[in-house]
Amino acid sequence: MSFPVKKFFSYYKPYRSIFLFVLFCALMTSSLTLVFPLLVRYVTKDVLAGSLSTALADVLWIGGVMILLVIVQNVGNYIVDYKGHEIGARMESDMRGELFAHLQKLSFSFYDREKTGRLMSRVTNDLLMVSELYHHGPEDYVKYLVRFLGAFVILFWINAPLTLTVFCFFPVLGFFSLYFNKKLNRALTNNKERISDINAQVEDSLSGIRVVQSFANEALEIKKFNVENHRFLESRKGTYRAEAYFYNGTEAFIQLITITIVIFGSIQIVNASLDLPDLITFLLYIAFMIEPIQRLTHMSTQLQEGATGFQRFLEIMNTKPDIESVSEAKTLTTVDGHVSLKNISFQYDLSLEPVFEGLSLEVLPGEYVAIVGPSGAGKTTLGSLIPRFYDVRGGGIYVDGINVKDLDLHFLRSNIGIVQQDVYLFSGTVMENIRYGHPEATDDEVMMAARQANADEFITGLPKGYHSDIGQRGVRLSGGQKQRLSIARVFLKNPPILILDEATSALDNESECIVKESLEMLARGRTTLVIAHRLSTIRNAGRIVVLSEGKIVEEGTHEALLKRDGPYSRLYSRQFETQV
């Protein structure tokens, strides 16, 4: 993939003025550096070779000029170092914010494929390398280009034959550098992939640490981590091997250049075509030509790391969400909650079997409908299609007669409340987690939602009440308490359509009773779809829909379906026998 130069430089735009000022300072300090050897040449060749009676005054005057140049140079270097790094950090912050915002838009199907740890590496490590390139890249290349070209012009003026002799080494050194740059690029790209794998493994293992320890599988996790750690070590060894060839090859060329200057310079002194002060000046200036070469390894590594980091950043940014609002998406003034699924077909991937083919279902406003069936029947998938977490491949889903694909995505999801079996609570306080359902809600509204969800009693019993920290994913709360907080969150959201996805299946009987009461209160006056695992929780549903192999095989009330002695009756009997 070719490097997108235009896109790369576009991030300088908000900081163009200060960036150009930093480059000017880098240019100025590099130019001033070239003056010092000329002053040394003037002292050794002209001042000390002339009348010694006036030499001391001239030397002091030149020393004063040198001190002034040092002051100006250091002020310039301070600006380059401080402001340059600040620009890099600001651009990194801009890109990280842009990347995180884009990640929020990507569809469930993207996260089905990607590992969280690898994405975290893109948000953190990669952009840190890009920031270094943004700051040091232009500054270093300007600084060393000025020194190299300036030194070449001055050396050519001092002694053209010797300069041209030395310059013959540089084309060979350039090809050598390009060859190993390619090797470094491949090695650094591989490094980023391997560290992403390590992040993914660490995130996966630590997120599931309770499962790991409950199965006493610490050794297994260590073994899996060591595999990824070893792969990263091998990739780093490849990088260091390429760097070693590059660095030592460059050093060999530098030593040959120095030897060439000493030999050819000495010959010219013997032949009286070069004097000693000019040879000293030549040796001082050649350091300015060699310095960029010595820095080339670091600069190349920085360039390659920053470039590969930017490319990996663009890979995510160029990933389009599978599900977006259409250009002229609709919103409704009020949502009654009439949900229709008309002849829908869906499969997660073209390589997999279809989940639904030609399925139709209608749920009237305010109706309480339960979806039941064996595992794998498509119950949860059905609940994911209505808010467009995935899009149907055929047919259509309609809310109040409008195809959900024509509705504004934010509007659609704002009007659907979802309570899941696997409750996700964020690190922070009880208040913050409930308020997630409506970020602008007042404290009183949050507490009202908690009371409606039967959560107020246990919340006020916590050490700091509503301001108690619940830990990562709510680890300091019981399953029933976490579920009631998630219900309070939906109460606060107050949506007209409600989807309950096996919201009580993981709870004990006592917690289930409390949560069931909260859910029944939440469902009042709303169009409600209950995806049920425990059939005892949906006896009072207005209608029960039985799914099997992606098709509706039965519909009716609990009593009517039991009398039919069909699939629902068999499911209910098996569950009752299991419970007994």
pLDDT at 580: 42
548-556: long-range contacts (C-beta < 8 A, 24 or more apart)? 548/373, 548/374, 548/377, 549/377, 550/354, 550/355, 550/356, 550/357, 550/359, 550/377, 550/378, 551/356, 551/357, 551/359, 552/359, 552/360, 552/361
Same domain? For 162 and 245 the reply is: yes
Q: Map 429-479 to HEC letters.
A: EHHHHHHCCCCCCCHHHHHHHHHHCCCHHHHHCCCCHHHCECCHHHCCCCH
Same domain? For 226 and 334 the reply is: no
Same domain? For 470 and 520 the reply is: no
> pLDDT confidence of 336, banded at 50, 70, 90?
very high
**Residue 511 lies inside a defined structural domain of this protein:** yes
Same domain? For 466 and 571 the reply is: no
pLDDT at 504: 66
Kindly report which listed range (248-252, 343-347, 490-494) carries the lowest average pLDDT score. Answer: 248-252
Backbone angles phi, psi at 429, to 5 degrees: -95, 170
Residues 225-230: what's their mean pLDDT? 89
Collapsing DSSP to helix, strand or coil, 551 comes out as strand
Kindly report which listed range (25-29, 383-387, 506-510, 551-555) carries the lowest average pLDDT score. Answer: 506-510
Q: What is the DSSP letter of 44?
A: I
pLDDT at 296: 64
Contact 454, 484 (CB under 8 A): yes
Interatomic CA distance for residues 574 and 567, integer angstroms: 11
Collapsing DSSP to helix, strand or coil, 528 comes out as strand
Kindly report which listed range (168-182, 341-355, 422-436, 446-460) carries the lowest average pLDDT score. Answer: 168-182
E strand or H helix at 299: helix 276-317
pLDDT at 118: 78
**Residue 420 lies inside a defined structural domain of this protein:** no
Same domain? For 276 and 344 the reply is: no
Residues 137-158: what's their mean pLDDT? 84
Interatomic CA distance for residues 349 and 355, integer angstroms: 10
Q: What's this model's pTM, rounded to 2 decimal places? A: 0.75
Interatomic CA distance for residues 211 and 551, integer angstroms: 35
Same domain? For 298 and 239 the reply is: yes
Residues 140-169: what's their mean pLDDT? 84
Same domain? For 165 and 278 the reply is: yes
Question: In sequence order, which residues have a C-beta less than 8 Å from that of residue 294 and are 6 or more positions away?
Answer: 250, 251, 254
Residues 10-34: what's their mean pLDDT? 90
- Of 180-194, 313-327, 386-400, 511-525, the range with the highest mean pLDDT is 386-400
Interatomic CA distance for residues 370 and 558, integer angstroms: 10
Q: Of 440, 473, 494, which residue constitutes the final position of a domain? A: 494
Q: Mean pLDDT across the chain, nearest whole number?
A: 84
One DSSP character per residue, 506-522 reads TS-HHHHHHHHHHHHHH
Q: Map 107-164 to HEC letters.
A: CHHHHHHCCHHHHHHHHHHHHHHHHHHHHHHHHHHHHHHHHHHHHHHHHHHHCHHHHH
Closest among 219, 15, 260, 29 to 139, alpha carbons compared: 29
**Residue 458 lies inside a defined structural domain of this protein:** yes
Same domain? For 500 and 490 the reply is: no
Same domain? For 232 and 354 the reply is: no
What are 105-115's pLDDT values in tens digits? Answer: 888 888 888 87
Starting from the edge strand earliest in sequence, which strands make up the sheet with 356-363, in order? 356-363, 339-346, 394-399, 402-403
β-bridge pairing 402-403 and 551-556: unpaired
pLDDT at 48: 67
pLDDT at 294: 65
Q: Of 477, 494, 511, which residue constitutes the final position of a domain? A: 494
pLDDT at 464: 92
CATH number at residue 441: 3.40.50.300
Contact 356, 381 (CB under 8 A): yes
Burial readout 383-418 (b: 16 or more C-beta within 10 A, e: otherwise): bbbbbbbbebeebebbbbebebbebebeebbebbbb
What are 39-87's pLDDT values in tens digits? Answer: 877 777 776 666 666 677 778 888 888 899 889 989 998 998 889 888 9
Q: Of 444, 459, 494, which residue constitutes the final position of a domain? A: 494
Same domain? For 476 and 540 the reply is: no
Interatomic CA distance for residues 283 and 423, integer angstroms: 71
Percent of the chain with pLDDT over 70: 94
What is the number of domains present in the chain? 3
Same domain? For 113 and 172 the reply is: yes
Percent of the chain with pLDDT over 90: 21
Same domain? For 330 and 403 the reply is: yes
What are 458-507's pLDDT values in tens digits? Answer: 899 999 999 999 887 788 888 888 888 888 888 888 899 999 887 666 56
Q: What's the domain range around 504? A: 323-415+496-580
Contact 515, 480 (CB under 8 A): yes
**Residue 352 lies inside a defined structural domain of this protein:** yes
Interatomic CA distance for residues 118 and 312, integer angstroms: 11
CATH number at residue 216: 1.20.1560.10
> pLDDT confidence of 406, banded at 50, 70, 90?
very high
Contact 399, 412 (CB under 8 A): yes
pLDDT at 397: 95
Sign, CA torsion 381/385/388/394: positive
**Residue 438 lies inside a defined structural domain of this protein:** yes
**Residue 394 lies inside a defined structural domain of this protein:** yes
Interatomic CA distance for residues 116 and 531, integer angstroms: 28
At residue 319, what is the residue type?
Answer: T
Contact 316, 192 (CB under 8 A): no
Helix axes 160-167, 276-317, angle to 10 degrees: 40
